Structure 1
Amino acid sequence: MRTTAWTSASSEESPSSSSIWPRTEGTPSDLNALQEELGYTGFLILGFPSNQFGKQEPGAPSEILPGLKYVRPGNGFVPNFQLFEKNDVNGENEQGVYTFLKNSCPPVGGDLGNYAGRLFWEPMKISDIKWNFEKFLVGPDGKPVMRWHPSIQVSEVRADIVKYLQDQKMLD
């Protein structure tokens, strides 16, 4: 049995940040730590880069991993979770998995915010993924369980995941 947290839109910048990685716990290093801590339960983190938020992931697929390792966050960073090919998470070309996830979990947050000129898809819907590092928890049966706004800290996400794993008798 596997419990999967889908991390979507893992391109870099937070809408309120001038640096590439958000200055919060929502960083790839925090996701590595979460995967390391809970991986023994069957928990998996899946990352899906997207260029739809501020066009922050413009590179070719072959540039994403070296960019993480040498640029941002740099310092030799290597994700210990599966990183998928860059794709659209919103709009007419969104991947089917996102349609499924967004239809299965209620929208988080209010509207899409004041990001005029920084969101690159149409049509826009209230259920759309709001920004980088929005997260979904998918149970071992493949059913989405929970969704977190991108501003939610990994520590809060961790607490919700631990509670879910305990409720499912997958964690002591």
Structure 2
Amino acid sequence: MNAITDFEVKAADGGPASLDTWRGKVLLIVNTASKCGFTPQYEGLEALHRKFGGQGFEVLAFPCNQFGAQEPGDAAEIANFCTLTYDVTFPVFAKVDVNGPNADPLFDRLKSDAPGLLGSKAIKWNFTKFLVNRGGEVVARYAPTTKPEDIESDITKLL
């Protein structure tokens, strides 16, 4: 089975982006939204990114508009919001679907490797988080209600 870092995704500008760029790093992959009750988690995600970035950790954000249409903007609006509101410095990719027939293959793989409660594959809401080890294997899935700071000890173990 391929590592998560073997996937190609779309950059915010719509061009191709290879996750190989982050091979050998611990990753926290998150589906995000700018107008969600969990949006303030951007602050915690950025704090993790700044704290552990120099140790081989990276947050990768994938905006998604599938939950309550809470990510209506285009790539420029999303980037602007993330930068101006939360001073986000980690990568924010192109908007994706995480469920359904048009789900991005990366998220199909994440859901398959780390099912939710009772084996559910579907992502229930924005800010579902997937922790990936240095070998590109998904090791944990966290609910939207799990605050980024509550994942810190799991990240530390993988670093």
TM-score by length of 1: 0.72
Look up the match of 1:2.
25
SS in 1 for 2:72: coil
| Residue 133 (structure 1) shift | 0.9
> For 1:127, which of 118, 121, 131 is the aligned residue?
121
For residues 1-172 of structure 1, what are the structure 2 equivalents within 5 Å?
1-14=24-37, 21-22=39-40, 27-70=41-84, 74=85, 77-108=86-117, 126-165=120-159
Aligned length: 136
1:25-70 deviation digits (Å, cap 9, x = unpaired): xx11111110011111111100000000110111122211122344
- Unaligned runs of 5+ residues in structure 2 are 1-23
1:71-106 deviation digits (Å, cap 9, x = unpaired): xxx2xx331111001110111100000110100012
> Higher strand fraction: Structure 1 or Structure 2?
2
CA distance in 2 between counterparts of 1:65 and 1:21 reads 14
RMSD: 1.9
> Higher helix fraction: Structure 1 or Structure 2?
2
Look up the match of 1:117.
none
CA distance in 2 between counterparts of 1:126 and 1:147 reads 11
Identity of aligned residues (%): 36
Q: Larger radius of gyration, structure 1 or 2?
A: 1
TM-score by length of 2: 0.77
The 8 Å contact of residues 10 and 47 in structure 1, kept in 2 or not, is answered as: no
Moved over 3 A (4+): 9-12
SS in 2 for 1:68: helix
